[in-house]
Structure 1
Amino acid sequence: MSVLKAFRHDVPASIVVFLIAIPLSLGIAAASGAPLLAGLIAAVVGGVVVGLLSGAPLQVSGPAAGLTVIVAGTIAEFGFAGTAAVVALAGGVQIILGVARLGRAALALSPAVVHGMLAGIGLVIALSQIHVLLGGDAQSEAWKNLRDLPAQIVGGHGVSTLLGVLAIAILLVWPRLVRTSLLPAALAAVVVTTALAAALGADVKRVDLPDRPLDELIFPRWPDAGPGAIALAVLTIALVASVESLLSAVAVDRMHDGPRADLNRELVAQGAGNTVSGLLGGLPITGVIVRSSTNVAAGARTRTSAVLHGLWIAVFVLLCAPLLETIPMAALAAVLVVVGLRLISLAQIRTYVRHRELPTYLITAAGVVATDLLTGVALGLGAAVLVMLWRLARCETRVLAGGPGEWTVTISGSLAFVGSGRVAKALALVPAGEKVTVELHLDYLDHGAFQVIDDWRAAYTRAGGTVTMRETNDGWFSRATHDRLGDGKTTPARRFGSWTQWQRRDRQRRDAMETGIREFERSVAPLVRPHLAGLARDGQQPEQLFITCADSRLVPNLITTSGPGDLFCVRNVGNIVPPHGTGDSSVGAAIEFAVGVLGVGAITVCGHSGCGAVRALMEGGFAKDQDLGRWLAQSGVDFADCDDEEHCVTANVAQQLVNLRTYPVVRSAEAEGRLNLTGLYFDLAEARMYTVDPDRRVREPLPVNAT
């Protein structure tokens, strides 16, 4: 993409982000108890400094709601000048972490803990700012705000409350009425309430900025506290800001087709930004998902958009500060109430319910609200460890009667000594003197549990019974029998390869289809049953719609390393998407269902080498009055411009992305920043995936994230 073309996209995107950043930066500063100018300084530095150095070019940085609680506590302890020094030091820690290439390590923290932390912070923000919106004062602790909320609600309210309620209404209704990202809801809420306050001549509290901003900068001063307290504050801001920035960068990567984020470089950039922001008297900076998603949705192509948005803020503060001083504080409080509540994501809660990690999420969030951020995170980490240990020690044992005198005992999961008692109890249910098959589907077995099973087998055999041990993946019990439990994990050899290879190896003399089903029920079903049972109970929530060819050589779940519930698949001859309102409607129905009902965040069109449909289109070797000919004609590709098969396949994929955007539901979701379209090319001979550049219609190697 040329520089001029990118610039043409980046300038409008930067203006959109600038418009949403102004009210958010002021509101976050107010909620933190910091000077309002500090929020604007952080926004400028986040745009210019971090934007220039960023390892995630489309991510936009600035003051974040997720740090509000921490900053408020730091200001209360050290004062704002001391907090500025802490922010600068935290930036230095981030630079060290990035240089040490620990960017990926920050993502090792359980997502349930991170999102639970953000949910707790969001609730704390909302509880404090609702008091400001209603004309009162926020308390220093969340439980006090919650305690005083009923009295605040029934108390007397003036024009300030009316303005705040109106702002919330606009924030909630605006995205449903106005689809363009050029007019963000936060900007609309602030502009409308400010205009109304001016029209009414309302005597309400408004934004108060210095007349000469450059002369009013608060420079850092070493905090008047012990080294332990200072070090704790520095590490807290550094680690929380790093985790939030890196999680945001990973999320932004899923929204666009450009270069993937270099997380270590991004960590250095965030550190440089925080150091500069602290030295200039600004708030701490993180990568912010709200501004970043807006940036992508507005069409940004390079880091120029983030840098320009910072420059627009600087120019506006220096030249147009009186306009900002007309904004009612109640309007900013309303923006923060909505932003805080949106940190509590229902989609994430549903995800953690499906993955059995909801306790970790809830304990972290409740801990942050009831105590403080560090205690809440510590409680969440403890819960995550307990859940992990419970899963590691959990196994399922089933005892089933077969034919006369035959029994089957199936043991699945991880079997450690702590679970051996349940296994022994189940084995004791088998009547003596029978023919017993023990099927083991284990991903772990320790010596204590092995001894329980082996002792039972020996005793049962001595009493006249017959025991046959059967394992998948040639694993743990066999190795334990030969004193080789420490050889490592079970080999995954049988997990790969086609069903045909499995059938030839195990059941060459049986019918292939029946063999496949029986093999699934015997070996695979016990492993996937808990996951499928959860999907059956909770319903499907796939991450993406995957449109690909019906070619038997292409196996979507294999080439994407995905499993049940991950992909909503549409397969047809030539991975074709007929334009909206033309021809076959089955593909359109799947698109509307996936985007409108299931809420997928991505649509992928995947073509492949050796595609028979593309060859037919290239050669024109089909009858246009037959079903196949009529179907292929809907591709919309002009194959006269294609040089070879590879070019034709990539052109076909690119054209289907164009066809996708003819669907209103796709255009709407893309404009709102909640849907990403991707083209892929799979080379069968190489077993390698490529991305498709939709503009140049060529394939490119998949980008590799730095580690």
Structure 2
Amino acid sequence: MIALPLSLGIALATGAPLQSGLVAAAVGGVVGGLLGGAPLQVSGPAAGLTVVTAEMIQVYGWRVTCAITILAGVAQIGLGFLRVARSALAVSPAIVHGMLAGIGVTIALAQLHVVLGGSPDSSAVSNALALPGQLAHPHPAALSVSLLTIGLLLLWPRLRGLTGRFGQALGKVPAALVAVGAATAVASLAGLRLPRVHLPSWRSHALPEMPDGPVLGLLSAVLTITLVTSVQSLLSAVAVDKLASRRGGDDRVPRANLDRELRGLGVTNVVSGALGGLPVAGVAVRSAANVAAGAVSRNSAVLHGIWVLLAAGLLVGALELIPLAALAALVMVVGIQMVSLTHIRTVTRHREVVVYGATAVSVVVLGVLEGVGIGVAVAVALSLRRLTRTRITVEKEDRPRHPVHRVCVRGQLTFLAVPRLSRALGQVPEGEKAVVELNGSFMDHAAYETLEDWRSAHTAGGGSVEITGRAGQHIGEHASSHTCTPWTPWRNHQCTRPHTDHAHHTPRRGQLLGGVRNFQRTTAPLVRDELARLAEEGQRPSQLFLTCADSRLVTSMITSSGPGDLFTVRNVGNLVPLPGEEAGDESVAAAIEYAVDVLRVESITVCGHSGCGAMQALHGGAGDRDTPEGGGTPLGRWLRHGRPSLERLAVRDEEAAPRIADRDTADEVELLCLANVVQQLEHLAAHECVARRVREGSLELHGMYFHVGEAQTYVMDLGGTSVRRPVFAAVRPDARAV
């Protein structure tokens, strides 16, 4: 029901005999279904080939076009046996989507003339220039039938949500069939004089003849059909795999064999061309409908082809009632829908909108093959700016009971690396645990799609996938909108070495300026848009993070946070003076009040760490008024705010003493570090603004401890203003909660 009107419409748009669309649909279903490598994919005449086929028919005639289709099929069979199908995935999706968008614009411009009652030209530019004149003199009958078709096409899918179960039942009937059927009925009942479908006798059906024309031109035509149909079919097969894996259920449909799909497509095009049919490709719309209808085997595609054959033989009289304006309106809407806003947003997010735009515009202005060539050139030029040597390795870790397969990617992931990435991921056995480590600052849409599709399929097969690394922030449900380059230690790093040729640069200043230069060169371009947004909207952090000034404690690193995420207060020993005991220094109290009452943060975290110099000094007697170190220096006076932590530890209440789950504390200093976190949380709760928000239930207090040597974070929640038996639990990378 979907294939019948679309096949006739595509044949009309190409200028081919209308029967050729039915032949291609039937052959695509029966032959493609039996021999193809994607069991649920449905092949047939595709809208993406409309412009290509129309150009060939105009230049060489219909019968030579059939021969070109046969030669393209032979080429695809050869490529299938050479096992190069996965190489087609190296073509950037931005190019494919740009090509389809350009073809869609070309189709829409041509069919708009038919909708208005006129005749289109062969050039998209000519059609655009002639459009004002056609709009000034439309054909009322053709325009009425076309508007009815378009209206039903757009409104019919909404019927399901408006009229309950009855609407859902009607909604299962394809909109294309409803629109064309209703337009045909109205035109027949009203007696409108319009050009209609004409299906000549099968006895006069045109079959292929030997190609006659310039050799280079014929080779170019064969190459175009081969590339366009192959890439479209293979990408559609991958998409169908993804749809099938997301559908779920107990049925286990085999994944697509791309080389077999390419060979099957070649045989299908040979048969279609030999029988006088249009070029065939895998069609995403029909395939998606097949999956949604619950298909579980290739028999669904075969039966679809048989139904088309029966319709072509038994419904000729009904088909010849269809107005050509209705088919033109149908194909025009399909052409407009080929310019997908979702694809535009996707390629924009992956910084490939230039490739998409260049391909689309070039296809409209110059033609499909030229447009794809320009798109490839732009994509290569863009990738050369980003591309560094990408190294992909696969290692197996033999752990007890659960072996882990680790796929390590070093460098940038672009579409050029997709074949290697696909082969590496293919080495991970089904049902096994896999860890994918991404160590690069860029991942384009092709690599993202390959990795995401593989992860969905591997998970559906019973396996588990963990993706780590900076580029991995693009994969996952809670991906950050900004990505920074990884930190690098200053010590002996080339980007921060002092410049000895400038006398005014001291070594330490050279390190600082070198680090700033590295930020401007590598990180600033990645966060500039995010910082510009924050500069315009202002800061809205949800967390107040109070921690020590120790240089080994990098807050953004241990929390995976970025600009605008944390409101941070740092001081020696992560201390919170009690209200009224600030001794002239109210900076911490001011920060707390600003975060709680002005920024309206939702939680406050006090974070201590191992080997804290302040706690070591406090344990050694610093901060004691009775010692020389206690009150004579600013540091000693500041450490007095930590005395309650030391006194808390001196109580030696085993039930109230803080501890770390699953291990003993290393020594007295670590125990003091933990006690200090608990004590400072109680000091926080003594501040009036904090106590008020805690009582309201709009503010949470949390304790955290970071062990520097282990690179391990431990957390503790504080439910009220005090806590009994505080326990710090380790945060595990594979745990949803602590």
Q: What range describes the TM-score normalised by the shorter chain of this pair?
A: 0.5 to 0.7
Whether the aligned pair in 2 keeps the contact of 1:55 and 1:269 (CA below 8 Å) is yes
Q: CA deviation at 1:517?
A: 3.1
**Partner of residue 204 from structure 1, selected from 179, 194, 199:** 194
> Deviation string for 1:581-626 (max 9, x for gaps)?
xxxxxxxxxxxxxxxxxxxxxxxxxxxxxxxxxxxxxxxxxxxxxx
Aligned to 2:317: 322
Identical residues among aligned pairs (%)? 48
Whether the aligned pair in 2 keeps the contact of 1:413 and 1:442 (CA below 8 Å) is no
For the residues of structure 1 that align with 2:64 and 2:497, how far apart are their CA atoms?
67
Q: CA deviation at 1:440?
A: 8.2
Q: CA deviation at 1:290?
A: 0.8
For the residues of structure 1 that align with 2:503 and 2:292, how far apart are their CA atoms?
68
> Deviation string for 1:136-171 (max 9, x for gaps)?
001110011111111111204231221011100110
Partner SS for 2:364? helix
Aligned to 1:280: 275
> Deviation string for 1:423-464 (max 9, x for gaps)?
xxxxxxxxxxxxxxxx98499xxxxxx98x588534358954
Matching of residues 308-707 of structure 1 within 5 Å? 308-392=303-387, 441=486, 453=495, 457-459=499-501, 464-466=506-508, 515=553, 517-520=555-558
One-letter amino acid matched to 2:39: P
Partner SS for 2:85? coil
One-letter amino acid matched to 1:203: R
Aligned to 2:229: 241
Residue 23 (structure 2) pairs with residue 41 (structure 1): yes
**Partner of residue 173 from structure 2, selected from 169, 183, 186:** 183
Matching of residues 222-261 of structure 1 within 5 Å? 222-257=210-245, 258-261=253-256
Residue 291 (structure 2) pairs with residue 301 (structure 1): no
Whether the aligned pair in 2 keeps the contact of 1:457 and 1:467 (CA below 8 Å) is no
Q: CA deviation at 1:294?
A: 1.0
Instruction: Give the structure with higher Rg (CA).
Output: 2
Whether the aligned pair in 2 keeps the contact of 1:461 and 1:467 (CA below 8 Å) is no
**Partner of residue 58 from structure 2, selected from 69, 76, 84:** 76
Whether the aligned pair in 1 keeps the contact of 2:73 and 2:269 (CA below 8 Å) is yes
Whether the aligned pair in 1 keeps the contact of 2:498 and 2:507 (CA below 8 Å) is no
For the residues of structure 2 that align with 1:298 and 1:314, how far apart are their CA atoms?
21
For the residues of structure 1 that align with 2:214 and 2:486, how far apart are their CA atoms?
56
For the residues of structure 2 that align with 1:456 and 1:388, how far apart are their CA atoms?
33
Alignment CA distance shift 1:466-1:309 (3 Å):
same
- TM-score normalised by length of structure 2: 0.54
Q: CA deviation at 1:340?
A: 0.3
For the residues of structure 1 that align with 2:115 and 2:500, how far apart are their CA atoms?
74
> Deviation string for 1:619-669 (max 9, x for gaps)?
xxxxxxxxxxxxxxxxxxxxxxxxxxxxxxxxxxxxxxxxxxxxxxxxxxx
Whether the aligned pair in 1 keeps the contact of 2:497 and 2:511 (CA below 8 Å) is no
For the residues of structure 2 that align with 1:36 and 1:464, how far apart are their CA atoms?
81
For the residues of structure 2 that align with 1:442 and 1:284, how far apart are their CA atoms?
53
One-letter amino acid matched to 2:58: A
Q: CA deviation at 1:391?
A: 3.4
Q: CA deviation at 1:375?
A: 1.6
Q: Provide structure 1 residue ranges, at least 5 long, that are not aligned to the other structure.
A: 1-18, 396-411, 415-438, 444-449, 471-475, 477-508, 530-683, 686-707
Whether the aligned pair in 2 keeps the contact of 1:460 and 1:466 (CA below 8 Å) is no
Alignment size in residue pairs: 427
- TM-score normalised by length of structure 1: 0.56
For the residues of structure 2 that align with 1:357 and 1:374, how far apart are their CA atoms?
20
For the residues of structure 2 that align with 1:295 and 1:346, how far apart are their CA atoms?
24
One-letter amino acid matched to 1:231: L
Higher relative contact order (CA 8 A, sep 6+): 1
Partner SS for 1:256? helix
Q: CA deviation at 1:316?
A: 1.3
Q: CA deviation at 1:355?
A: 1.4
Partner SS for 2:41? coil
**Partner of residue 117 from structure 2, selected from 127, 132, 135:** 135
Partner SS for 2:243? coil
For the residues of structure 1 that align with 2:511 and 2:288, how far apart are their CA atoms?
54
One-letter amino acid matched to 2:80: G
> Deviation string for 1:108-144 (max 9, x for gaps)?
0111111000000000000000101111001110011
Alignment CA distance shift 1:367-1:520 (3 Å):
farther
One-letter amino acid matched to 1:183: V
> Deviation string for 1:502-548 (max 9, x for gaps)?
xxxxxxx9999x94734347x9859x99xxxxxxxxxxxxxxxxxxx
For the residues of structure 2 that align with 1:381 and 1:170, how far apart are their CA atoms?
38
Whether the aligned pair in 2 keeps the contact of 1:126 and 1:340 (CA below 8 Å) is yes
One-letter amino acid matched to 2:328: A
For the residues of structure 2 that align with 1:468 and 1:392, how far apart are their CA atoms?
30
Aligned to 2:693: none
Alignment CA distance shift 1:316-1:142 (3 Å):
same
Whether the aligned pair in 1 keeps the contact of 2:25 and 2:45 (CA below 8 Å) is yes
Aligned to 1:268: 263
One-letter amino acid matched to 2:330: V
Partner SS for 2:23? helix
Aligned to 1:123: 105
CA RMSD of aligned residues (A): 3.4
For the residues of structure 2 that align with 1:440 and 1:460, how far apart are their CA atoms?
28
Q: Provide structure 2 residue ranges, at least 5 long, that are not aligned to the other structure.
A: 161-167, 246-252, 389-410, 412-439, 443-483, 513-517, 519-546, 567-733
Whether the aligned pair in 2 keeps the contact of 1:103 and 1:267 (CA below 8 Å) is yes
Q: CA deviation at 1:367?
A: 0.7
For the residues of structure 2 that align with 1:326 and 1:231, how far apart are their CA atoms?
39
